Structure 1
Amino acid sequence: MADSGSTARLARIPASAKRVHLIGVGGTAMAALAGMLVERGLSVTGSDNQLYEPTASLLRNSRVGLTTGFSPANLLPAPDLVVVGNAIVASNPEAVAILASAIPYLSMPEALWHFFLKGRRVLMVAGTHGKTTSTAMMAHVLDAAGRDPSMLVGGVASDFGSNYRLGRGADFVIEGDEYDTAFFDKGPKFLHYRASGAIITAVEFDHADIYRDLEHVKSSFRALVEQMDSSRVLAVCADFPHALEVSAAARSRRLTYGLRGGEYRATEITVAADGARFSVMRDGDRIQDSIHLPIGGRMNVANALGVYVLLSAFGVSGDEIAGGLHTFKGVVRRQQVIGEAAGVSVVDDFAHHPTAIGVTLEAIAERFPGRRILAAFEPRSNTARRNVFQNAFAAAFDRASRVYLGPVYFKENDPIAPGERLETGALASAISARGARAIACASNDEILERMLADARAGDVALFMSNGPFDGLKERFLAALKARGSGTT
């Protein structure tokens, strides 16, 4: 329930707005919101310190007026409404300016509800892992079935070439994040979307910069479950015990699924170079035969099963779902092969949590059987930079042959005390003790130098980071191509 301050703030929001400014427009969801507002015919401006791919290209290709850097001057002339991204702190110059003015402002989730979600059937994917892929997958399946959905996802969906789409259908498919909403609203973003149907893919500890521990994380998911009444549908992955725990008291219709447990089970799973195949059982009865998922990986099979379960509950037929899954192209930066040179395949992935790293390496090993995996990892996320996963990270790299650890990424707005920081030297030793050869590199340039020296024909080079990783994957591929052509 909104407090009195929020109620007064929301009461100032104009019934219609022509000019909207976004503070922190470079965030994935903020960039999508900016593009959606432009498509609605609004005049949109945005500011941020720096833009990273792929959102940088998405914004440049839109009609958003972009400004580098934050300044009160960016609010002149005064817009009708300001949207504040969750990366923006209260001391940001533009945040200070709006708080001192009469300009109405919303958080990104509030703006999504205000402009796009009201009156739509919201289908949401939440959970520690697989949100982006599952959201893009569900939107594609609905589109292939002729439902023409809208979508907002935390990555570029390859089927749409964008991280958002505005359709004419009844459904809005959205990625629901448990991260906090804004400096003036520290609750999780996904509570603002009021989903009619939701998937909880997993519940594990993450976001160590805002969550104290696993129990704190679970409290946010419990709030989501409590929000969903008996008219709503919740699909929960039974492979993650904490997901079952937080949803145990659900008032909504709760459906469980998984590879190892649940009412719905994926069975007869095979994974090869052309993707994964599986069948679906419900309470021991086969209900769908031999679904083909081109992107492969067992975690993606679980993601696809969650989509199958939720969409089935909303009347999409099993054959329609299977047909959509068969043509799903995936998401940029999720096990994405960006090229091959000198006999080495180069793969880009967003993995930054021990579980995600482990399943990514497993999927790559199944996709490229018998080939060495050279895995480079940048501890960049707010959790990966801390030592909360110091031990868990060691086992995550078991499927790699060689591991190259980058230095812990430094963030001015989130400095970490040395005693709380991930120790990459100790991690390299722990990984090596388990069988892979691991090196803690002093710089990203050292990673590049060592990987190029080690790489040989038949290898797979996997780059894992939730950021641009200093362009290493592109630089590595370019150097391999130059090696193959005999140039330097």
Structure 2
Amino acid sequence: MMDLDPQLNHAPDTIKRIHIMGICGTGMAALAGMLQASGYVITGSDSHIYPPMSDFLSGLGIEIMSGYCAENLQSHPDLVIVGNVITRKNSEAIALSQTTLPYLSFPQALAHFFIRGRTSLVVAGTHGKTTTCSLLASTLFRAELDPTFMIGGIVKEFNANFRLGKGKYFVAEGDEYDTAFFDKESKFLHYRPEIAIITSIEFDHADIFDNLDEIKASFRKFVRLIPEKGLLVANLDDPNVAEIAAEAKCEVQGYGLYTENSTLSWALGEMKTQDGTTDFAVYREGQLWSRLKVKMAGRHNCLNSLAVTAVLNRIGLTPEEISNGLSTFAGVKRRQEVRGEKGGVTVIDDFAHHPTAVRETLAALRSAWPGRRLITIFEPRTNSSRRAIFQKYYASVFDSADLILLREPLPIEGLDPEELFSSSRLAADLRRRGLDALSFSDTDAILHHLIKRLKKGDVVAILSNGGFDNIHARLLAQLDS
């Protein structure tokens, strides 16, 4: 096992052929598509080659090598891009360390090939990054500014998580997760922000951060990257964001909820939700600025829209252009996405996994579907949600649901049982609070129980950041039978 030579961590002057290690990841496949569209010859390797990314890459004619090995580098590419999934023990990474091939991480490559030369608009924060990025990119597109973007979800307007435009703006989802095995700093530190949004700062990613202070330290570095002539749009209702924003050397425009004594640059006023569309008041420096609409429910989505409004106003869009972009936004897959309705039962898919995201999502769905019974199925799947760190907090975030069904998570290798999250313990805690909650060992057991309890008019919200054993399609199929 050898470390990569830091002297080779750069892009060479002449590049024709690029090899991507870990190419089947959602972001890596999107990067491969963007690079190929830019004229580069792309190859890639991965140990998990399966749809939809394998189909996407195959459709582009990109050669994918199954598994990692030294032979994958024998074509002598001009540059190797090393995905975050690759460890220093990876056989292909070891082979790379024994060559003189230049290499970049995913964030470095994104910055070098696509952010450089453009105005970088970066959305960062624990929650809401994907939706906020998608709103921003879609509105820029509607305003005919032809943006380029890379986003962590499929934007329905484009049916893709990336776009290669000819305009001056790049919209980046600024993830605080680490960059690569050879660079443990956060991804967003590579994205050269000129205008940035910070939606929230909470503890997350327990596999790489030990505590909230470490996360704040990373956000401090990010804020320092914004030039003095730039702009930080910060949710100052979040005390952690306010603490970090106070250290910015650029202009800060704060946003949050409207109060009579508010000193926020942008404030969210009265909200009205009907048929899945929310109409809300926007206050600018304490004065009513406009009323806007977005085809989403929930206070958090209105705040995301407010942050986008601040950025778009800064770069010169008119209130009419902003209103048109927000009101026509078609949404993001796996964010309050209605997967289907069978037998009078509506099935919704959402990505929520952090306790705050679960609480806000369920509150939003309650407002969007008033008078309907809301059933929530939750799968703890991320590294953080499978640990006991949020065990007690989860007990207070399901109040908007009428029935809660919990899947026991897969254990994390190397952790003691007391360090692991327990769905059965959470179900017991929820029942003590008067909620109807049960835990199950697997997805089959959940479906078996659920199908017996469903009634016409129910709304089933399935929350997971993974595929959840295709539970959505399986449930709809059973309802159709």
TM-score range, shorter chain: over 0.9
Larger deviation, residues 64-73 vs 226-235: 64-73
Provide the residue aligned with 2:118 in structure 1.
120
Partner-residue secondary structure (3-state), 1:30: helix
AA at the equivalent of 2:393: A
Does residue 279 of structure 2 align to residue 277 of structure 1? yes
Give the 3-state SS of the residue equivalent to 2:241 in structure 1.
helix
Cα distance in 2, alignment partners of residues 410 and 478 from structure 1: 30
Matched, 1:395 2:393: no
Listed as ranges, the matches of 1:68-83 within 5 Å are: 68-83=66-81
AA aligned opposite 1:277 = D
* 1:328 to 2:329 alignment: yes
- Judged with a 3 Å threshold, the aligned counterparts in structure 2 of structure 1 residues 258 and 51 are, in CA distance, closer, same or farther, namely farther
Inter-CA distance 52–232: structure 2 relative to 1 (3 Å threshold)? farther
Q: 1:297 to 1:61 in 2, by over 3 A?
A: farther
User: What TM-score does the superposition give when structure 2 sets the normalisation length?
Assistant: 0.95
**1:184 counterpart = 2:182:** yes
Q: Which residue of 2 aligns with 1:148?
A: 146
- In the alignment, the residues of structure 1 paired with residue 233 and residue 224 of structure 2 have an alpha-carbon distance, to the nearest angstrom, of 14
Opposite residue 408 of structure 1, the aligned amino acid is P
Q: Distance in 2 between matches of 1:273 and 1:65?
A: 45
Q: Report how far residue 300 of structure 1 moved.
A: 0.7
Mapped to 2, the partners of 1:334 and 1:57 lie a distance apart of 23
Q: What is the aligned partner in structure 2 of residue 459 from structure 1?
A: 458
Q: Alpha-carbon deviation of 1:292?
A: 1.1
Asked if the contact 1:273–1:366 (Cα under 8 Å) also holds between the matched residues in 2, the reply is no
Residue of structure 1 in register with 2:318 after alignment:
317
Deviates more, 1:183-192 or 1:236-245: 236-245
SS of structure 1 residue aligned to 2:385: coil
Q: Tell me, in whole angstroms, the C-alpha distance in 1 between the residues paired with 2:285 and 2:341.
A: 44
1:217 alignment partner in structure 2: 215
In 1: Cα distance, 2:268 partner to 2:167 partner? 29
Aligned equivalent of 2:308:
307
Q: What does residue 297 of structure 2 align with?
A: 296
User: What amino acid maps onto 1:450 in structure 2?
Assistant: H
The 3-state SS of whatever aligns with 1:139 is helix
The structural deviation recorded for 1:30 is 1.2
Q: Secondary structure at the match of 2:44?
A: strand
Shift of 1:120: 0.4
Number of equivalenced pairs: 474
Instruction: Give, in angstroms, the shift of residue 74 of structure 1.
Output: 2.3
2:243 matched residue in structure 1: 245
8 Å CA contact 1:58, 1:162 repeated in 2: no
Q: 1:461 to 1:149 in 2, by over 3 A?
A: same
Structure 1 counterpart SS, 2:396: helix
For the 8 Å contact 2:408–2:422, the answer to whether it is kept is no
The whole-number CA distance in structure 2 between the counterparts of 1:99 and 1:455 is: 56
- What is the CA distance between 1:96 and its match in structure 2? 1.1
Measure, in 1, the Cα distance between the counterparts of 2:343 and 2:336.
20
Tell me if structure 2 keeps the 8 A contact 1:385–1:408. Answer: yes
Partners of 2:377 and 2:64 in 1: CA distance: 33
Matching residue of 1:447: 446
Shift of 1:291: 0.8
Structure 2 CA distance for partners of 1:464 and 1:245, relative to 1, 3 Å: same
Q: 3-state DSSP class of the match of 1:399? A: coil
Provide, for residues 389-416 of structure 1, a one-character-per-residue CA deviation record: whole Å limited to 9, x for no partner.
00111111111111111121346xx643
Q: Distance in 2 between matches of 1:9 and 1:417?
A: 40
Which residue in 2 is equivalent to 1:89?
87
Any conservation in 2 of the 1:342–1:480 contact (CA below 8 Å)? yes
User: Residue 341 of structure 1 aligns with which residue?
Assistant: 342
Counterpart for residue 361 of structure 1: 362
SS at match of 1:470: helix
Q: Report what 1:135 is aligned to.
A: 133
Contact 1:398–1:435 (CA<8 Å) still a contact in 2?
Answer: no
SS at match of 1:140: helix
Q: Per-residue deviation at 1:78? A: 2.3
CA distance in 2, matches of 1:60, 1:267: 48
Equivalent AA in structure 2 for residue 95 of structure 1: A
Alpha-carbon separation, structure 2, partners of 1:447 and 1:76: 48
CA contact (8 A) 1:44 1:63 kept: no
Rounded Cα–Cα distance in structure 2 between residues aligned with 1:343 and 1:435: 27
Q: Does 1:475 align with 2:477?
A: no
State the partner residue of 2:30: 32
Q: Which amino acid aligns with 1:145?
A: A
Q: Which residue of 2 aligns with 1:202?
A: 200
| Alignment check: 8 A CA contact 2:5 2:97 kept | no
Q: Is the partner of 1:164 in helix, strand or coil?
A: strand
3-state DSSP class of the match of 2:424? helix
Once the two structures are superposed, the pairs formed by residues 221-236 of structure 1 within 5 Å of their partners are 221-236=219-234
**Distance of 1:246 and 1:53 partners within structure 2:** 40
Contact 2:198 2:235 in 1 (8 A): yes
Q: Does 1:423 align with 2:425?
A: no
- List gaps (5 residues or longer) in structure 2: none
Aligned residue in 2 for 1:23 = 21
Distance (Å, rounded) in 2 between the aligned partners of 1:301 and 1:76: 51
**8 Å contact from structure 1 (residues 374, 402) kept in 2:** yes
Q: Distance in 2 between matches of 1:274 and 1:57?
A: 33
69-78 or 209-218: bigger deviation: 69-78
User: 1-side partners of 2:474 and 2:348: how far apart?
Assistant: 13
Offset, 1:72: 2.3
The CA distance in 2 between the partners of 1:108 and 1:5, in whole Å, is 17
The 3-state SS of whatever aligns with 1:456 is: coil
Deviations along 1:400-436, one digit per CA (max 9) or x if unpaired, are 111111121346xx64331211011111111222232
Identify the range of structure 1 (110-119 vs 21-30) with the bigger mean alpha-carbon deviation. 21-30
Q: 1:278 to 1:51 in 2, by over 3 A?
A: farther
**What is the alpha-carbon distance in structure 1 between the residues aligned to residue 57 and residue 363 of structure 2?**
34
TM-score, normalising length from structure 1? 0.94
Deviation, 1:70, is 2.2
How far apart are the structure 2 equivalents of 1:369 and 1:52?
39
Gaps of 5+ in 1: 483-488
Contact kept in structure 2, 1:295 and 1:328, CA below 8 Å: no
Residue type of the alignment partner of 1:359: E
Contact 2:131 2:332 in 1 (8 A): yes
Q: Tell which deviates more after alignment, 22-31 or 172-181.
A: 22-31
CA contact (8 A) 1:233 1:254 kept: yes
Per the alignment, residue 486 of structure 1 pairs with: none
Q: Is this contact kept in 1: 2:8–2:101, CA < 8 A?
A: no
Kindly state the Cα deviation for residue 316 of structure 1 after the two structures are TM-superposed: 1.6
Letter of the structure 1 residue corresponding to residue 454 of structure 2? A
State the match for 2:437 in structure 1: 438
Which stretch has the larger CA shift, 341-350 or 99-108? 99-108
